Every structure is written in C-alpha cells, then in structure tokens.
Structure 1
Amino acid sequence: IDEVLEDAINRPVYVIEELCGEIAKRLLARHEYATRAEVKMKSEYIVRRQTPFTRATCQEVVDIFAEAVARAGPAGYLRKTVGAEVMGMTACPCAQEIMKEQAKSELLKAGLSEDAALDLLTRLPMATHNQRGRGSISIEVRDRRCVSIDRIINIIEESMSSKVYGLLKRPDEALVVSRAHSNPRFVEDCVRTMAQKTVEAFCDLPDDAAVTLKQINEESIHQHNAFAERTATMGELRAELASLKV
C-alpha cells in the first residue's frame, strides 16, 4: 500500500478524485485476491478572500475530500466522489419574526403609523439568534468529468445567510451581520438552496450521478444542533426542481 501511495503522489496532483481512483485501481492490480478497493482522502484547501467592505485580502482554509471505489471482474467499475465542507453563518427566521412583532408594537406605542413602522422594520436588520453553519456537498464523478472544487465551495457559501471570514474590521463586521439578518435561513433552507444551485452549476453531469447535501447549524440558544440532509441523483433533483416551476 505504501509503495502504491508513494508512486501515485510523486507526480503533481491536480484532481484529488483522480488520484483516489488511480490508487484504488493500482491496489486491485497488486492484490490479485482482492475484488474491491476503497480509497478516501481529506485535505485542506486554501481559498483567497477579500473582506466585504474594506476589501482586505485574507486566506481561508476549507476542508475538501474525495473517495474512489473500484471493483474488479467482469462487472467491475470505478466510482469517484469529490466534495467540500465549508463554514458559514445563518440567522434564524423564526426568532426574527418574533422580534419584529415586538419592535412593531413598541413603534406603534411611540406614535408611528403602522405603515411607517413596517417601512422602518423593512429597512433595518432585525435581531435574531445566529448559528455557525457547516455545509457540505459531495458529487459522484464519472468518466473523466471534472467537478470544480471552487464551484462547490461557492455554492455552499451562497446557500447560507452569510459567508464568514478569518479577518474582519469593524465596517466588515457590520456588513456581514447586516447581510446575514437580511437573509435569514433555516437549516433545511440551506440544503434546498444547495440543491437548486448544484443542478444549475453542474448541468453536464448525468442523471444517475449521486449527490449528497448536508447542513449542520451549531445552535446558539438551544442545547441541540440543527441538521438537514438530502441524498439523491441529479435526475431526481432536476425533476423535483422542474415540478416546482410548473
């Protein structure tokens, strides 16, 4: 096993799912008694970022992973999967609606008309509790198709209320908080958005390609975390999304 790994990584690696697939095939070739080989790989991926207001350059570390399963024999196959797990933040829509009703009541008591109160509440980000979210997407890759890790990372980040950053000045913090509270999402909303964006971004993948979408929200006011997951083929996701547009 060590020899196979050393030989495989002596050359530059550009696509980690291809590396896993190559190692799985070589393991089967070296072990004639084996009929199945499974290889998993995890790595840290550096992403360059600019903070949203001051545009300061920073680097973020994202966890990426790949997997390959090879089977020997007449019915042999090679299945490869690639994905990423990304941190973000979400703002709770339920608590925000409760706070909005309380704020509306206080504004009416202060003498504002109902229209003026509603207009003010629409303009200002309303308080709610936040969660640190961990979203992940894994996509099955067939043949020599390449699934962009950067695209997967962008989809996960855009599916939450806001991105998070390692470096933020005060104006950046204000903008991140404002964006998150203007875009509240439940954990299941994040998974639904991932599904929609994955179908749009990877239109070249076959209908039988498997996709797994997960979101974990680490709650700030509850003792439990919130979790949502969807496992489906690309064809199933396309059909479900098409039915929603009818």
Structure 2
Amino acid sequence: MIDIQNTQDTREVPLQKVGVKNVRYPIQVLDKNHKVQSTTGTVNLFVNLPHNFKGTHMSRFIEVFHKHHNDISMNNFLEMLEEIRSKLDAERAFGRITFPYFIEKSAPVTKSAGLMEYTCSYEGEVAKEAKFFISIKVPVATLCPCSKAISEYGAHNQRGFVKVKVLYSKFFWIEDVIKMIENCASTPLYSVLKRKDEKFVTEHAYDNPRFVEDVVREVYLGLKKMDFKWFTVEAETEESIHFHNAYACAEFNSEC
C-alpha cells in the first residue's frame, strides 16, 4: 500500500516535534522497598520531522514504547528514546512520562500505615548528546514564622508542594529525594493520622516554622549534598488566611 507519510512535502517547513501525546499506559518503575512498582503513565513521545517529509509513522512510537513499558527505569529511558529516533530515522527524539508513585508511610506515633502519592516524571531528549531529567512533586505543610512570632494563640499553616527537577547523571532512588524534601518543610503529610499522631504533627510543625523561601533554600542545599549537577526547586503553598499562593524557586548549575 502507498505510504503517504513518506511522500514529498513541498512547503519547506521543518517541524521540531511530531508524535503522540497523552497516551495512558500501564508501566513498571523501580521501587526501593519492593524492587518494582506497577503504575500508570501519561506518555508524550516525539521526533523532529524534516521539511521534505509529509508526516511520521505514529504507530511506531507505540510499538517501541510497548516493548519497554515493563521497565521504564532511569537507566532504560534514554535507550527507549534512541530506539524511537532510529526507527523513525530522525535526528532527535523526545519523551516525557508522568506517573503517580506510591510509598507506604507510617504515622509518626501510632505507626498506622497508609499510602502517599507523589507525582513524578521522566523527560529526555536524544540527539548528538542525550539529556535526561527527573521531576518529583512532593506535598508538604508549612507553618508561617511571621504568624508564630506575632500571634498569642498559634500560627497559620497551609498545605502546599515542593517540585524538583534534576539532571540525571547517576542513579538515585526517588524515595531518598522525597524524604529529604519532606524534612525541609514544617512537617511531612500523612494519609493516616490518629489523635496521638495529629498532636505530634501539629506540634512538630509549630516547632519548625518555614516560609516558602526557607523550604526552597533547604531543599537546594539538600540536592547539592546529593551531588546533582543541575536542578530547579519550586515551593508553592495555598495560604490559609491570604487570598493568594506563596511561591519561591531557585536553580543550580555546577557549570556556572
């Protein structure tokens, strides 16, 4: 049958990205405590398209991804993109997979267990050089230092999140980064809290007030200790007594 995608295009307009987007697929990722975790990924896969080709072959993206979906690990992600680039005869290939990552977490006093969800993503590009980034979004709680300093009966607190994006250079565990981030907030969040736990968490937050600026700076220092060569840190909280969100961010580049 005729291959329309490979026919000549005369408009002389190259396309930076063509491919498939928002593909939902079961995947398996590495888990520090259980070796492997099954989850669901939302997948974007692209290649560049030279000006002289009419289109790309969309089915080939899914064929290659299906081959790799049972092992979407940090080490294999770029190999998958290289296979896509080669199979579609492209100069560059791009990919992004976003997935919920679950960790069983015990309450601080009663040790009651529940699952916490964290949003993670792998994002990469292969061309003459390869780049691979990992993003992790962690829910946290903060207690306002200013409110604590000026109030006689307590301090306002709020729930928010910290998002980090790191350039991959060597293997690390997602769980280790999450734990470090949670320790930089006023308190971590939990899915199960009994009354003894709630007392502990409330008092722990009160003893560890944090502005979003504090959280970003603490996470920044934590990521530097983990020896990441490039990263960004964002913190955002939905303020409980203000009609706005509080936000801060920072970037680190070891080459600058």
TM-score by length of 1: 0.75
Alignment of 1:107-122 (within 5 A): none
Per the TM alignment, residue 235 of structure 1 is displaced from its structure 2 partner at its CA by: 5.8
1:18 aligned partner, one-letter code: N
* 1:180 and 2:205 are equivalent in the alignment: yes
Matched residue, 1:217 = 237
Q: Unpaired runs of 5+ in structure 2?
A: 1-60
Superposed CA deviations along residues 36-86 of structure 1, whole A, max 9, x for unmatched, are: 221011111111111011111222111111111111xxxx01111113111
Larger relative strand fraction: 2
Q: Is residue 83–residue 152 contact of structure 1 (8 Å, CA) maintained in 2?
A: no
Alignment of 1:97-246 (within 5 A): 97-99=149-151, 103=152, 127-142=154-169, 145-200=170-225, 202-203=226-227, 205=228, 209-234=229-254
1:132 aligned partner, one-letter code: R
Q: Number of residues paired by the alignment? A: 196
Matched residue, 1:110 = none
Superposed CA deviations along residues 166-207 of structure 1, whole A, max 9, x for unmatched, are: 11111111110100011000001000000111112x23x4xx
Q: Is residue 4–residue 27 contact of structure 1 (8 Å, CA) maintained in 2?
A: yes
Larger relative helix fraction: 1
2:160 aligned partner, one-letter code: G
Superposed CA deviations along residues 115-159 of structure 1, whole A, max 9, x for unmatched, are: xxxxxxxxxxx61111112001121113xx202211111121111
Q: Is residue 159–residue 190 contact of structure 1 (8 Å, CA) maintained in 2?
A: yes
1:140 aligned partner, one-letter code: L
Structure 1 residues 234 and 53: alpha-carbon distance in aligned structure 2, compared to 1, 3 A threshold: farther
Per the TM alignment, residue 18 of structure 1 is displaced from its structure 2 partner at its CA by: 3.1
Matched residue, 1:121 = none
* 1:2 and 2:62 are equivalent in the alignment: yes
Alignment root-mean-square deviation, CA: 1.5
Q: Unpaired runs of 5+ in structure 1?
A: 104-125, 237-246
Query: Counterparts of 1:54 and 1:229 in 2: how far apart (Å)?
Result: 35
